[in-house]
Amino acid sequence: MSAMLLPRDPVWRWFLGTLISVPACLAVWWFYLRDPLLSALAWAVGAAAPLLWPETVLDLKMQGGQAWLISLVPTLTDPPRLFTPLPLPLNRAVAVFPLFWGFTLATPGRGLARRLLLGTVILLPVAFLMAVLTTQFHFSLFRTHVPALTLMPPSHFGMVLPDSPTAFYLWGVGRQLSVLVLPIVAPLLVWLGLHGDFIRNLLFARLTRRSVDAATRPAVTPPVLVAVDAMGQETVGQDASPDDSLEGSSSDDAVKEDSPSDSARQEDSQGEGSETESARQEDSEAGTAGRGISRSENVRSEIPGTGHAGEEYPPTGQSSREVPAP
């Protein structure tokens, strides 16, 4: 996908729009909407304080962009003070609104104002819960007077019993949720709940389309080959797979490599056969010659006047006729 086609993709458009809208909404919130939202949240917590912490909280006010909790717990000072101001960081409790606004503005669809208003109303109790958890942890930190979660207790002690270790740990977990988890998770979950169609139809469209294409893709049938042998009969078969072709080629190469050795063996066998035949012919000729010599010797022995060694008998100059006795 080229760079020119990226903005046409709805997923990329939402992603690029989020990169622009979220910082813009955070900037508008910080400079223009943070103080009004903090004042409204502080007023809501102060109104619910007599029900949540009876005889402990006097008031909750805003001063210099900071929320201050006025506690009725006296301090161990000389002279003792009847009121104890405790600072409350509530900025993250109201930061959920610009995050949700940024996600929503980057999401295409109808009814933008309705979606913004509905999401803001849903996040109001979440912000109130975050403020209550933060306030309760600061109360526990003031009563227990033990450093925890990178926070230091006030320099003076309060005339009140400390919390148990288990209760102090649980209030610390609530503070971590209100500071680290809910500011990010809450606006994201609300945005997902209000834009389910966009999530299903666009963000997950590629995955579902790929699965459907894979399921409906027709099976590829290999071509059928028809071979005619020497007798004129047709043989139907399929193309061999690449592995079979590779094995066939390797076997052909092996046969080609073995063929010189076979020819050498045939030549050796032919040479041995010719040598054997020549040896037989020589033996037969030698036997024939021996028989001729023996026959000639027999003939010589039968002819008078010849000996076994071919010498004449009787000696030369003498007659072979017998001389009668006197």
Strand (E) or helix (H) holding 236:
strand 234-238
The whole-angstrom separation of Cα 20 and Cα 40 is 28
How large is the average pLDDT for residues 278-296?
Answer: 55
Determine phi and psi for 274, rounding to 5 degrees.
Answer: -65, -40
Note the pLDDT tens digit of each residue in 125-172: 999 999 999 989 988 888 888 888 888 887 777 778 888 999 999 999
Q: With bands split at pLDDT 50, 70 and 90, how would you rate the model's confidence at 11?
A: confident
How large is the average pLDDT for residues 269-293?
Answer: 57
More confident residue, 22 or 252: 22
Closest among 154, 156, 151 to 171, alpha carbons compared: 151
More confident residue, 168 or 215: 168
pLDDT for res 89: 85
What's the N-to-C CA distance of the chain in angstroms?
Answer: 149
pLDDT for res 256: 47
For residue 59, give every residue at least 6 positions away whose Cβ sits within 8 Å of its Cβ, in sequence order, or none.
46, 49, 70
pLDDT for res 110: 86
The whole-angstrom separation of Cα 179 and Cα 38 is 15
- Quick check: 195 pLDDT over 80? yes
- Quick check: 22 pLDDT over 70? yes
Note the pLDDT tens digit of each residue in 263-278: 545 555 555 555 556 6
- Return the half-sphere exposure (C-beta side, CA atoms, 13 A cut-off) of residue 182: 25
More confident residue, 113 or 322: 113
pTM for the full model? 0.60
Q: pLDDT exceeding 70 applies to what percent of the chain?
A: 60
- Quick check: 13 pLDDT over 80? yes
How large is the average pLDDT for residues 299-305?
Answer: 46
- Quick check: 227 pLDDT over 70? no
pLDDT for res 285: 59
Q: pLDDT exceeding 90 applies to what percent of the chain?
A: 27
**Tokens for 261?**
């050795």
Closest among 4, 7, 11 to 207, alpha carbons compared: 11
pLDDT for res 28: 95
Q: With bands split at pLDDT 50, 70 and 90, how would you rate the model's confidence at 100?
A: very high
Q: What is the DSSP letter of 310?
A: S
Note the pLDDT tens digit of each residue in 140-153: 888 888 888 888 88
